[in-house]
Amino acid sequence: MSLKLQSDYYDKLDNRFYTITKPSTVSNPVLVLFNSTLASELGMELADLDMKAEIFSGNYIDDSWTPISQAYSGHQFGYFTRLGDGRAVLLGEWKDKNGYLWDIQLKGSGRNAYSRGGDGRATIGSMIREYIISEAMHGLGIPTTRSLAVVQTENKVRREVVKTGGILTRVASSHIRAGTFQYAYEVGGIGLVKQLADYAINRHYPHLDGSKDRYLNFLDEFTKRQAKLISLWMSKGFIHGVMNTDNMTISGETIDYGPCAFMDYYNPDEVFSSIDTMGRYRYSNQPKIGIWNITRLLELFVEIIDSNEEKSIAKLSEIIKSFNEYFSYYYSMLMRSKLGLVKEFKGDLKLIEELLQFMYANNLDFTNTFRILSQNNYKNEEVFKHINFLSFEKKWMERLEKEESNIEKAQKIMKNHNPQIIPRNHLVEKAIREVEDKGDYSFVRIFMELLKSPFDYSKKIPEGFLKPMDLDEKVNYKTYCGT
C-alpha cells in the first residue's frame, strides 16, 4: 500500500518558497491514533497497519513524492522574523473524490533547513494536544486544520525534561499563511507576492480567477474569512494564544494548537499562554489583532493594487475598515443564536453583553452557562435566581416576543449553537498525562468520541467531562508551545 500523493502545485512555485526535505527516520514507530472518519472523508483506503505507521512516521517515502518544508516569515508578538517549517515536512497533496486538494504534512519529522538550531522533533504530548483540539474544533464547526494520525516513536525528545517523541499527520486546505506573503515580499518583492497570490487565488478563491480587481477582491474575501473565523472562536470561548501573522492561514482555517485554550470561567481578559506575558492575544483582543495581522498582509499589495500609491492605499484602507463590519455581523449573529434569537434588533449586543457581565461578576463557566440556558430546567440553578440574572431574563423574554418566539422555540435553536462539551484544559492535560506517564490511550479515545458531536443533547455526557477546572488550579494554569 502507498499513499497516492501529488506534488504538482506548491513546488512549482519559485524554489525560494521551500526546500526539498526528507523526514528523519525514527525508531519503532507505533500508530497510536488514526482518524478513520477523516480518512473516509478524504477517500483514503489505508488498511495496512504496519504501512500506516511507516508512512505517518516519515520512514517510508514513495519515489513519486517530493516532500518539502515551506519557508515563511511572520510577526511574532509584533516583532518580524524569518521562519519556516522548522519541524514539519509536506509529503504532498492529496486529491479527494471531488477534486479538492489537501496538504498532507508530518509535524515533528526532524531537522530541516528552517529548524534554526532546534531538533525538529515533537513530544508525544504536544501532538496528542493538537489531535484533540483540532478535531474538537472541527466538531464545533470552526474551520481548522485536521489531524489524521499520531505516531509514537522510541526517539527521545529533550524539552524541560526528556520525553517520548511523537509525529502528527496534519491535513489542511493548504499551509499558506499571511507570513508566507511576508516572506515572499522580503526575498522577492512584488513579483513573488503576485506569484503567490495567483497560486492562493487558484487554490482557495478560484471564482476570482480572471475577474477584474482580482487581487483586491482576494484580499477582501480573505478579510471576511478571518472576521468569521475569529467570531467563531469568540462564540465558543476559544483563545488562540499565538495569533502571529505566521499563524493566520490564507484559507481561513485555524492553525497551530500550542498555547491555545478554551475559557472555563468567562473573563474578557483571559490569557493562558505562558509566552503572552503582556496579554497581547487575550480573549477580547483577538478581533483587534485580526485587524493588525490583516493590515500587515495588505500593505504588501500597495504597489500591486494601483499604480497610484494614494489610490491604492485608499482602496486597501476600505478593506481594513470592512473587517469591523464583517466581524460585527458574524459575532452578533452567532451570539444571538446562543440565546435562540434569529432576527436582528437594535440593542441585541447590549443584551448579550449584560449576560456576559453577569457571568464575569459571578465567575460562571462560559460553556456551561449557555448549555444550561439551552435546557428547560435552568431555573432550578441557584445562580439563575440572582436579581441581576432575573433582570436580564426579563429583557431576554421580551426580546423573544419581538420576533414572535418563546423560550421553548429559542432552546431548540440554542442547542445547535451551544455545545455540551469542549476540550477543557484540565481534561486535555489528563489525556496527555495518561499517555506520557502510563502509555495509556484509552482516555484520549473516550474523550475524542464525546467531542465528535458536541451539540447532540440526546447524548448523555458524563459529569466529569462537563466540569470546569477548579478556580484555585486555574490561577496558575498555563499552556506552552511544545517546540
Q: How far apart are CA 153 and CA 167, in angstroms?
A: 8
**At 139, which amino acid appears?**
G
246, 264, 276, 365: the active-site residue? 246
Could you give the C-alpha distances from 149 to 126, 128, 166, 184, 450, in angstroms and in order?
13, 10, 10, 31, 18
Q: Are 168 and 180 in contact (CB under 8 A)?
A: no
What does the angle CA 91 – CA 44 – CA 64 come to, to the nearest 5 degrees?
Answer: 35
Buried b (16+ CB within 10 A) or exposed e, 136-166: bbbbbebbbbbbbbbbbbebebebeeebbbb
> Is 246 designated active site?
yes
Task: Please state the φ and ψ torsions of residue 259, each to the nearest 5 degrees.
Answer: -85, 25
Q: How far apart are CA 300 and CA 177, in angstroms?
A: 13
Could you give the C-alpha distances from 99 to 94, 346, 480, in angstroms and in order?
9, 44, 37
Residues annotated as catalytic (active site), given as ranges: 246
